[in-house]
Structure 1
Amino acid sequence: MSKQIRMNAFDMTSAMHNSHGLWKHPLNVRTSRYKDLDYWTELAQLLERGKFDAVFLADVVGIYDIYGQSRDAAVRDAVQVPLNDPAFAIPIMAQATKHLSFALTVSTTYEHPYAHARRMSTLDHLTKGRLAWNVVTSYLPSAARNFGLQEMMKHDDRYEMADEFLDVVYKLWEASWEDHAIVHDVENRMFTDPAKVHEINHAGKYYRVPGPHLSEPSLQRTPVIYQAGGSPRGSDFAARHAECIFVGGPTPAQTKQYIQDIKNRAESFGRNPDHIKAFTFLNVVVAETTKEAEAKYEEYASLWSSEAAKAQYGGSTGYDLSQYSDLDTSFEYKHTEHGQSRAASLTKDNPKKLTVREVLNGFERPGRKMSIVGNPQEVADGIQSYFEAAGVDGFNLTHMITPGSLIDFVDLVVPELQKRGVYKTEYEPGTFREKLFGEGQRLLPAGHPGANLRRGISQDG
């Protein structure tokens, strides 16, 4: 069988995600329903009908307040606020589905590994092994202040802390409880064999965690690890830990180059590069005809909020676009402690040097260069072409209106991709890791730093 496209739905448990200003669209029901259980079960069932691999739940723990040195633009246009805790939506969606998996974003900067390990084990139990963790280090100064810090931790220091955070949770998930520690021996009055439960006795720069882990091992023990680090320090972190990476570039060739760089780094850390899947972002506007799709795109563009888009960009990069007054000067890269890959995307990583005017104009409408607009055949052509040229394994699909854009994709694009043999018609059995990497691969593979910590564990469990 030829390589098939994997698809995640990129979402947030908020009134709006990245479709800035489109909360005004009359069919964007998420705006009012994102707080309802039924909304999330219906969304999960739609995605499973479309054979999506996972719903990827992004998250932030602060408000975007860099643009104009104010939170007003973000609050006014619902830029990822109001926002609920995504962890609580996962069991609801899992109960309504059988195969769809769930990637939960959790920051290593503002959580504690001991509590986090229990929450992830719990969710992996409740989903029957359909859980992934998107590891982030968080970039909003407002989050730092609300968690009691005077200022945001420096970018590379956040990754140093994240490395130790993962070391702790790997020990809790992989080394604390042996296989078959639960014996449920009524005759000898022993539910758990104490000899098979171990302290981890971690003592590091940031954490002291004696253990043991509070939860018994889940099907995957360690959830599938997602990561999107694009800076040199972030790329090393992804290469060391990630099983699924997010990459992006202005061309398929550059995306392919980023993927190879991460895989080369992974190999230098003693990992098998085949144990990493690569995803990039995808936005689609599709209709039965090209004319109808173009009309849809123009309708969405008429509701777009450039102020909201600038607010989101400001928080992710640290660049306050309200302060750029000389429109004909070059838009240059400057170091901040925010997201460095996003800052580089319009500066040093862009194939053409942009002026401030060009950058600001780019926020006036939804990004057409990063969208595929057309009829089902045209959209499938675009997806397949990028998939083959860039060497990605799949896509994180955004959506202009929810669930309308996803319904269009499931009903119009998925059948076309299935006809071409590049998209699954049935799910593979097993846990999320097995669906990604093959039957019997429910645990971290050999060579992964988490797998290297195992004690009393067999792959067959």
Structure 2
Amino acid sequence: MTRQIRFNAFDMNCVGHQSPGLWAHPRDRSWQYKDLEYWTDVARILERGIFDGIFVADVIGYYDVYQGTAHHAIQQAAQIPVNDPIQLVSALSLVTKHLGFGITASTGFEHPYPFARRLATADHHSKGRLGWNIVTSYLESGARNTGTAGLPRHNDRYEVADEYLEVIYKLLEGSWEEGAVQRDRGRRIFTDPSKVHEIRHQGKYFSVPGYHLSEPSPQRTPVLYQAGASGRGRDFASRHAECVFVAAPTKTVLRNYVADVRKRAAAAGRDPRKLYVYNLQTVILGETDAAAAAKFEEYRSYASYDGSLVFMSGWTGIDFGQYAPTELVRKAETNAIVSIVDALAEGDPDKKWTVEELAAWGGVGGLGPVIVGSPSTVADILQEWVEDTDVDGFNLAYAVTPESFEDVVNLLVPELQRRGVYPTDYKPGTLREKLFGGEAYLSSDHPGAQFRDLAAIHRREAETAKSQLLVAV
């Protein structure tokens, strides 16, 4: 097989990200999450390993579904405390030249007008290496603490997200024309006002009449990541996302997902091969299989049963604390991440999960599969996953940081390069150019590209309003 395998590092600006309890491991540095020196060390490691980027997760809220309390989440530092992800970009940009930054931010808790400026600023500071992981949020605690009555229903959150993206596109793609910024000292014209436009957006959820605050950044719209895996989420991803993140526990689930999301992208008029899918994966490496197995057992000795079920309960919306450890995971209607419930309960007919198996599974690596072995063994397995599922790459979570990432860079990457299935250098340009080639901006078949001509959009909106008025009369 000669198809290239892609890696992102999956991290979060917190302590206990995907492996609850392993913060107590003596070699783990995640407790230094609040120190920029930790992050710059990680960024240098990843760039040396030619990772596409560092994918920084985030949540607004805390996990309080398990046993109806946040006690175990707080005790085990299960994604609390947690800091803002986008503020890392400027510092990491200064110590790297190529690494991309996939920053998670929700469409549910911040108005798109100030957020568009934050995106543009980070894309400027990184010289075009920014990606935005679009999430719709799933924690009721986040909704309660941002002044809303509760978290909207799952499909309603995506309806809000669709309009949110429309506003973002209008601001980033259409408000400032190419050539608007002239920096003409002789004529004392920094920006030509005739080339800067009000977006005049009036929708169901947002009213944004005016101008975007920032001049166009190198990519205008950052590379768009999305983790939608439910039916509604897949529709959203196939329309908007350029990179899709999925946490499929088995090959069967992943293969079905990849085929389906590519089919939906093609139906939306997009090139399905220009939509990269990354699966969550954790790899435990040693010089030999035996050394890797010993390291895995060492890691597992630090895993937290309660911390694992804190995550599983929060992600699914099901309080696993109310069930006996030997009970099977069953399908349930929830308002959290619907796809996880589906995948665990019925995604693979050959695998049924008990609660205690679920806790053990999530103790190291969260929802993603864990691969343990020598570089040769792990490389064989990753290549099999790519061949069997058509996935493009992997979001690699750490067990112990930065040790897990160092092991990948020092042991696994050279093995994959020897096989000709991993890049040996970065492509030039912005993050979008490094990933896909072509231009720095959204491709012409992406729905965001249509918002570059705001005048045409305003004419269509006026004609629609006029037609609706005539029908009403």
Smaller-chain TM-score bracket = over 0.9
Question: Hey, what's the Cα distance between the residues in 1 that align with 2:362 and 2:157?
Answer: 33
Q: Which residue of 1 aligns with 2:184?
A: 185
- 1:7-86 aligned at under 5 Å gives the runs 7-31=7-31, 33-86=32-85
Deviation, 1:19, is 1.1
Verify the 8 A CA contact 1:94 1:127 in the aligned structure 2.
yes
Residue 345 of structure 1 aligns with an amino acid whose one-letter code is A
1:356-376: CA deviation from partner (whole Å, max 9, x where unpaired): 456456458536981111111
Q: 1:355 to 1:256 in 2, by over 3 A?
A: closer
- Residues 1:260 and 2:234 aligned together: no
Verify the 8 A CA contact 1:121 1:221 in the aligned structure 2.
yes
Q: 1:379 to 1:112 in 2, by over 3 A?
A: same
Question: Hey, what's the Cα distance between the residues in 2 that align with 1:7 and 1:348?
Answer: 28
Identity over the aligned pairs, expressed in percent?
A: 50
Question: Hey, what's the Cα distance between the residues in 2 that align with 1:322 and 1:223?
Answer: 40
1:22-57: CA deviation from partner (whole Å, max 9, x where unpaired): 0110000221x2111111111101100111110000
Q: Which residue of 1 aligns with 2:394?
A: 395
Question: Hey, what's the Cα distance between the residues in 2 that align with 1:274 and 1:441?
Answer: 16
Q: 1:364 to 1:43 in 2, by over 3 A?
A: closer
Residue 346 of structure 1 aligns with an amino acid whose one-letter code is L
Question: Hey, what's the Cα distance between the residues in 1 that align with 2:355 and 2:451?
Answer: 52
Q: 1:315 to 1:125 in 2, by over 3 A?
A: same
Q: 1:456 to 1:138 in 2, by over 3 A?
A: closer
Verify the 8 A CA contact 1:235 1:262 in the aligned structure 2.
yes
RMSD of Structure 2 on Structure 1 (CA) = 1.9
Residue 138 of structure 1 aligns with an amino acid whose one-letter code is S
Question: Hey, what's the Cα distance between the residues in 2 that align with 1:407 and 1:355?
Answer: 32
Question: Hey, what's the Cα distance between the residues in 2 that align with 1:298 and 1:356?
Answer: 21
Q: Which residue of 1 aligns with 2:173?
A: 174
Deviation, 1:85, is 0.6
Q: Which residue of 1 aligns with 2:465?
A: none
Question: Hey, what's the Cα distance between the residues in 2 that align with 1:120 and 1:60?
Answer: 18
Q: Give unmatched runs, 5+ long, in structure 1.
A: none
Residue 15 of structure 1 aligns with an amino acid whose one-letter code is V
Query: Which of these residues, 325, 329, 332, is aligned with residue 330 of structure 2?
Result: 332
Q: Give unmatched runs, 5+ long, in structure 2.
A: 456-473
Deviation, 1:254, is 3.6
1:327-378: CA deviation from partner (whole Å, max 9, x where unpaired): 45x4321111100011112102132463645645645853698111111111
Q: Which residue of 1 aligns with 2:441?
A: 443
Residue 101 of structure 1 aligns with an amino acid whose one-letter code is G
Q: Which residue of 1 aligns with 2:269?
A: 270
Deviation, 1:455, is 2.7
Q: 1:201 to 1:456 in 2, by over 3 A?
A: closer
1:271-325: CA deviation from partner (whole Å, max 9, x where unpaired): 2222211111111111112111111111111111010010011111110011114
Residue 262 of structure 1 aligns with an amino acid whose one-letter code is V
Question: Hey, what's the Cα distance between the residues in 2 that align with 1:6 and 1:360?
Answer: 28
Describe the SS at the equivalent of 2:427. coil
Describe the SS at the equivalent of 2:104. strand
Deviation, 1:186, is 2.0
Describe the SS at the equivalent of 2:346. coil
Describe the SS at the equivalent of 2:341. helix
- 1:55-454 aligned at under 5 Å gives the runs 55-325=54-324, 327-328=326-327, 330-352=328-350, 354=352, 356=354, 359=357, 362-363=360-361, 365-366=363-364, 370-438=369-437, 440-454=438-452
Verify the 8 A CA contact 2:18 2:365 in the aligned structure 1.
no
Describe the SS at the equivalent of 1:450. helix
Verify the 8 A CA contact 1:222 1:443 in the aligned structure 2.
yes
- Residues 1:4 and 2:8 aligned together: no
Describe the SS at the equivalent of 2:132. strand
Question: Hey, what's the Cα distance between the residues in 2 that align with 1:123 and 1:259?
Answer: 30
Question: Hey, what's the Cα distance between the residues in 2 that align with 1:293 and 1:88?
Answer: 35
Residue 315 of structure 1 aligns with an amino acid whose one-letter code is G
Residue 10 of structure 2 aligns with an amino acid whose one-letter code is F
Verify the 8 A CA contact 1:14 1:82 in the aligned structure 2.
yes
Describe the SS at the equivalent of 1:86. coil
Deviation, 1:16, is 2.0
Describe the SS at the equivalent of 1:392. coil
Verify the 8 A CA contact 1:331 1:353 in the aligned structure 2.
no
Deviation, 1:250, is 4.3
Residue 378 of structure 1 aligns with an amino acid whose one-letter code is T
Verify the 8 A CA contact 1:285 1:374 in the aligned structure 2.
yes
Question: Hey, what's the Cα distance between the residues in 1 that align with 2:383 and 2:226?
Answer: 24
Q: Which moved more, 1:52-61 or 1:261-270?
A: 261-270
Describe the SS at the equivalent of 1:434. helix
Deviation, 1:70, is 0.4
1:54-76: CA deviation from partner (whole Å, max 9, x where unpaired): 00000001010000000011000
Question: Hey, what's the Cα distance between the residues in 2 that align with 1:355 and 1:405?
Answer: 27
Residue 304 of structure 2 aligns with an amino acid whose one-letter code is S
Q: Which residue of 2 aligns with 1:455?
A: 453
Q: 1:389 to 1:352 in 2, by over 3 A?
A: closer
Count residues with an aligned counterpart. 454
Verify the 8 A CA contact 1:65 1:142 in the aligned structure 2.
yes
Question: Hey, what's the Cα distance between the residues in 2 that align with 1:159 and 1:352?
Answer: 31
